[in-house]
Structure 1
């Protein structure tokens, strides 16, 4: 599967290394602004960064003081990429726990969805990446056109969305009701087994004679979602191409991915009148050359109206690859579409905050975790990851807390971004720092957010400069904060 190694890639391309904090407050001041800055704080009490003490807790407002000082300077004259959303996946596991398992009452489920997706009363998740069929975080293997062994369905007469109608689709629809700005992405782990050379959901290659059929399979899925009120904004050709044995997956090479994208999938979407955009790769930074370069380097693909950019995973390589690709193709969007939390991670809060900051300082338009929900045992799962964690833990069956929901540290770290940075916001300049890594945003309504993390073992007096004024705040050791004004 994914390497599952807690490798936090350094952002050499944009200054995550130690730098001297050079204030820019000598520049002309901005027009008159707010008198106070608000702070929201998250702290944990254990070395693993999982036991939340303060979760997005609102602090006393900070008064602006005239003049500048050494520290972090927010510079609105520098603008970067547009933010589209942060979130996670309605895996089969998450959908079953939230809806089909019967563990949660209707009232508890709706309250949970509001805390996840409502921008006013919750954290405003804005990006949902759903598996297009089975994945490793599922109770069993399935696609939308399964056939008995030895039988095929090249006309896709057996295509059915029945599985998703039981949970994934209605939950996604409810999320869009709570937050109409939600972006939806779909990623397949495997084509139907009868399309593959080994006739299994695990590994195997798509038979070339079924390329056009598989493109029509995408179209039928997208049309079925659209017709039920859930348009899908993005798809990838394959989740983590060629990875991995032990659970649903499919092998590809670079030329096959490029050929299928150019000659089958993109034309099929165009012919069907679908606005859905295709994202290349959907895997790690260090797999770009092996699986995406041939696709992205083709100008006919890049110029196609249904091509949308590159999807990255954060399990291997260096996040600076995103900036290298931006420099090569400045108009090509980057999306960070998966990096799971998990018990293998030494400090989950630290990992999350570095991911949030590093991905977006390297041009990422999204920050997407893996499953929205798992149970206390990290499942149910169908091979693959048995120690993944989610934004929430749903308790079911015998044992502690049946029918209740725990909000993990990942819920709060994600909320530092999604609750305060709205879709359509633009990243703006802020002083890079190794001790207090940070990223700044300007929302469409003109409000601003600076997200920062104290990556040291002691409280740090942190100054934030903006518009010829500054505030100071004592940021606790290992704490995350979002400053808004």
Structure 2
């Protein structure tokens, strides 16, 4: 009996060795094409070429290592949480989005702290009682309607999910406008102390729900003073002073480990972050800088990284919408600019705007302005069913294969072939390749002295895994 058991264990071991050997002997791939004919379609195995390479050579150098990745995903706005929570396919959608096994394994979400510009309920903050400096009436109860249930369900299928919290506005009574729309934070010590406490209580109340907040940004789009929806302007001087004298010390005294991120606005302004980071009294509390896509050049995070290499870069928002209806054009722009371009510019995340919206790009509270034409990664239909949009597949091409803790490694680009490569903690390598040209091209991926040749269709992206 002991001999039989030993033989069984040996057989299992041999099978494991055989599987590992065979897995290391070929490359797997998943393809999405602009013509919509291939949507994350698994490709036949690619075995090493015995006769050298051809076409565009992509050299993967595991020894040249860059930033450690934290995750990929999108924002769980009030409207996104509403359509997911109320869908007949609620559980299926959660698995589709968050499961590392049966879904695409989204690993990072961005969470508005109260009101944003896409809102399923009347805009609110967590402290709407005027002049409550001690925040005795602070409450996240409105998040319990559908936001917190969706997060908890997502955490059950992906317990390592990370969350970035972002305020669109402080409570109205803390602002010069005395309303959620527009204005600035009143420059008053008591107000500033109360607002720092607001962040602390947000993190603590979510922790009591079993939800850890990985990072917060100080202010969404601090240079956007639009008075049609919740916003709050904050100059770099104000943000620096608030972090230096209030938010940073409040986190330290309450033993809050949540990261503080600056800026959270467009690529067209690198001075905002650099000016703050040049002040050591402020930068001691800062972990990173967050970026949006709506202005400027995609290389902006790289420029700030070069000035402050010890500060992490994060990409936190970009939206598709009815203004960009072409699947192929969206696939190409997003792949080159965001999903390849941002990690190559040192960002540790790539996050899009809404995770999900309905077929009317909402729901929207009529009294709240904001984007009425934005597209979610999923369109969740009011009467059941959902559609995977181009953004879903773009996220999937990284989130499904590049795990949190993966390190970006060196890869080259050229001749309409754009690439970014990563090595996961288990040693596996994932490479996202884009052919931005209209014609197919042979590409040779060179890894560990092996050449893997694949004929890459035009206007396509593929993730290869070894």
TM-score (norm 2): 0.90
Distance 1:363 1:254 in 2: 22
Q: 2:30 pairs with 16, 31, 40, which one?
A: 40
- Match in the other structure for 1:127: 108
Note the 1:40-439 alignment, pairs <5 A.
40-45=30-35, 52-66=36-50, 68-69=52-53, 71-99=57-85, 102=86, 104-105=87-88, 108-139=89-120, 140-147=122-129, 151-209=130-188, 210-245=191-226, 246-289=228-271, 291-304=272-285, 307-345=286-324, 347-354=329-336, 355-381=338-364, 382-396=368-382, 402-439=383-420
Distance 1:303 1:194 in 2: 30
CA displacement at 1:293 relative to structure 2: 2.8
- Greater Cα offset, 382-391 or 353-362: 382-391
Aligned residue pairs, count: 433
CA gap of 1:110–1:344, structure 2 versus 1, over 3 A, is: same
Q: Which has the higher helix share?
A: 2
- Asked which structure has the greater RCO (Cα within 8 Å, sep 6+), the reply is 1
Alpha carbons 1:37, 1:63 under 8 Å: kept: yes
Over the residues paired in the alignment, what is the CA RMSD in angstroms?
Answer: 1.6
Runs of 4 or more, structure 1, over 4 Å off, are: none
CA displacement at 1:68 relative to structure 2: 4.3
Alpha carbons 2:335, 2:434 under 8 Å: kept: yes
Q: Secondary structure of 1:130's match?
A: strand
Distance 1:171 1:68 in 2: 50
Distance 1:244 1:370 in 2: 19
Distance 2:258 2:60 in 1: 35
Alpha carbons 2:223, 2:265 under 8 Å: kept: no
CA shift digits 1:66-100 (9 cap, x unpaired)? 4643511111121111110001111000111111x
Gaps of at least 5 residues in structure 2 are 1-20
Q: Indicate the structure (1 or 2) with the bigger Cα radius of gyration.
A: 2
Distance 1:321 1:242 in 2: 17
Alpha carbons 1:281, 1:288 under 8 Å: kept: no
CA shift digits 1:399-453 (9 cap, x unpaired)? xxx1211111111111000100011001111112240111011100000111011
Distance 1:206 1:95 in 2: 28
Distance 2:139 2:253 in 1: 22
Q: Secondary structure of 2:249's match?
A: helix
CA shift digits 1:176-213 (9 cap, x unpaired)? 22112211110000111111112110011111220110
CA gap of 1:218–1:477, structure 2 versus 1, over 3 A, is: same
CA displacement at 1:342 relative to structure 2: 1.8
- Match in the other structure for 2:450: 469
Alpha carbons 1:119, 1:125 under 8 Å: kept: yes
Distance 1:173 1:74 in 2: 38
- Match in the other structure for 1:445: 426
Gaps of at least 5 residues in structure 1 are 1-30, 46-51, 397-401
CA displacement at 1:391 relative to structure 2: 1.0
